[in-house]
Every structure is written in structure tokens, then in C-alpha cells.
Amino acid sequence: MCNRRYIGFGKNVLFPDFFIYITVLIIFVDMEQLVISTWKHGIAANEKAVEILNNGGTSLDAVEHGVRVAEDDPNVLSVGYGGLPDAEGRVTLDAAIMDWKARIGAVICVEHIKNPVSVARLILERTEHVCLAGEGAYNFAITNGFQPDILHTEGSIKKYIEWKKGLYGRSQEFHTDEYKVKKSGGLGINDDGNHDTIGMVAIDKNGHISASCTTSGTAWKLHGRVGDSPIIGAGLYVDGEVGGAASTGRGEECVRACGSFLVVEMMAQGMSPQEACEYAVKRVIKLNLLSHVNRDHDYQVGFIAVNVKGEYGAASVREGFEYALAAGGKNTLTKSKYIIDEKFEIEDL
């Protein structure tokens, strides 16, 4: 659906003694451009995405190059270069991208490639496939001109060595801004940092919506673990006639709910982006409790969404999720609405 609309029609009116032809001029109306992304590092990503849009780029261009800013930033511990390793000390990256034409591309568990979102776009544009994994994704990238990179940094190696010494316990995800470790007792509900993937949704002047998502996943994860980020319908989803959504947080919980697809589907059924995000969060909470065996309930999941009218929304399981919004010449960081109060004690069923 294109929101760069035009209006135009003509009508013949025949009377007994004369003939009239009425014409209405065609009027073009450009859609207001908008970019929304997850977390504090979304501010810098938005800036790049807006630059792309202002220079005539499409929403697909914007969401690719926007999240690349996070992929290139060694201070973002859960995306791209500098992302924390898995249990074997290997940095494996996942990414996906989708546009308003239902074209999709994704990479899973790819190593030594700094910008997996761009490999995902290449899959979208140059192949009949939708996803490549592991060595196949790496070989495809190298064949198409990508250069191999060392993704470890001095900081990520240090943290991995500390984990191997038993200082940090089980697998966990870390917040970009604060390297906090999950411990038993006395932990603030958001201090585990389980919410750092960058997802982005953008709408361009033609009303076309695209989304992207990229991550290095859970720190110290079992090698080969995949969360929601590269899974179309979980980490992101776009319907060109409805809108787009992306997620962040513990990927397993979002996959269980087909979260981003659910957000878009609820918008298709008439919900606003805000209502749809809240609905999806409640579904995540419900399914987490239902699948209580081997699950803990101390986690975070958040959604962002935009519809074809340019309306947006965001919601999360608990307090603490922030999203970056670039619209109307401003680029701001805002706390989302949340469903479970931080003081609420969650017990197993």
C-alpha cells in the first residue's frame, strides 16, 4: 500500500442542450517519514536511517544502514562487532530484514561477518531463498564481496574469560549501557539486561514500511542457539497494507508467541500500534507462564510498531524498555508502557 496518495477523476454530464466535463486535479501527498528502533543505541541508528530517507532512500535502505551503526559499535555488547561470545567463545550473529513487498532475507549463526543485516538484504535481493545459516551464510557473504572480520574485542574476551572462571553463572543477555550480572536475590527486575537486540521499523515518503533486526544473541549461549531476531514473524514482520513491527528481549519468549507477526495481525484487525503491542506482550506473558517447566519468569520482551497511517506504538513486559523515535525533525528516547509492575512477584505455576 502506498500512502503517497493521489486523487483524480473525471465525469461526463449530459444535458439536452449542452455537454459538461468535470475534472478534478491530481494531488500528491507525501507521507511523513518516521523511524522507530529499540533501546538507547537506537538514537544513533535512527540518525543514520533519517539521513538515508532524507537523501531519497527507501525504508529498506534506512533500516539496513540504520542498524549497521549498532553492528559497528563495539560498545553495544549484544550486536555485531564486540558482541559477547557463546559458550565456546565464538561470536555468532543473526539478522533479518523485510520490506513492504513481503521480500525477506535472514542469516543465522554467521561468524566473522561484521554486518549480517547487509548479508540478509543480499539474500533478499539476489536469491530465491529467505535464509542462510552458519558456514553457508559465511560463504555466501565472502563470495559476494564481504570481508572476514575478527568480531572479538579486548573487552568481550575479558568478559568471556571471567565467565569461564565461573563468575557469572548461566547464559544471559546483557544491557548495552550497564554490564550487570544476574545473581540470586536482591536483583532489580531489569538488571539482568535481557533486552538488547536492535530492531528498527521505518516508513518512507511513499508510505512504504520496512523492518530489520540484528543481534549477537544471548551471552554464553549454547553454540548454535537462535533466538527471535532472524525469524520472520518473531523478531520482525511487515505487511505492506497494514504496518510493521520488531521485537527485543529474550528471544525464546517472542518466538513462542510469534510476537511481531501477532502485532501486525492485530493492527490488520483494527487495533492501533499501541494496542497491538500491548496485546502481543500479554500473549508473551501468558505463554511464558503456560510453558513454566525449565522456564524462569524474570525476563524482558518489548515490541515496537508502525502502521501505514504513520501511527506508532511500543510496549514491554516490564518497566525499563526504551525506544528511539525519529519523527517531525526530532529524535527522542522514550520509556514504553509496560504490563507487569516491577514490584510484582512472579511465581511458578
Residues known to be catalytic? 197
35-61: burial string, b at 16+ Cβ within 10 Å, e else = bbbbbebbbbbbbbbbebbeeebbbbb
- How many C-beta atoms surround the C-beta of residue 291 within 10 A? 13
Q: Say if CB 312 and CB 306 are below 8 A apart.
A: yes
CA distance 7 to 333: 37
State the virtual CA torsion across 307, 58, 127, 252 in degrees, nearest 10.
Answer: -40
- CA–CA separation, 308 vs 133, rounded Å? 32
Contact in structure between 28 and 6 (CB atoms under 8 Å)? yes
- Spatial neighbors of 42 by CB under 8 A, at least 6 apart, are 36, 70, 198, 200, 323, 324, 333
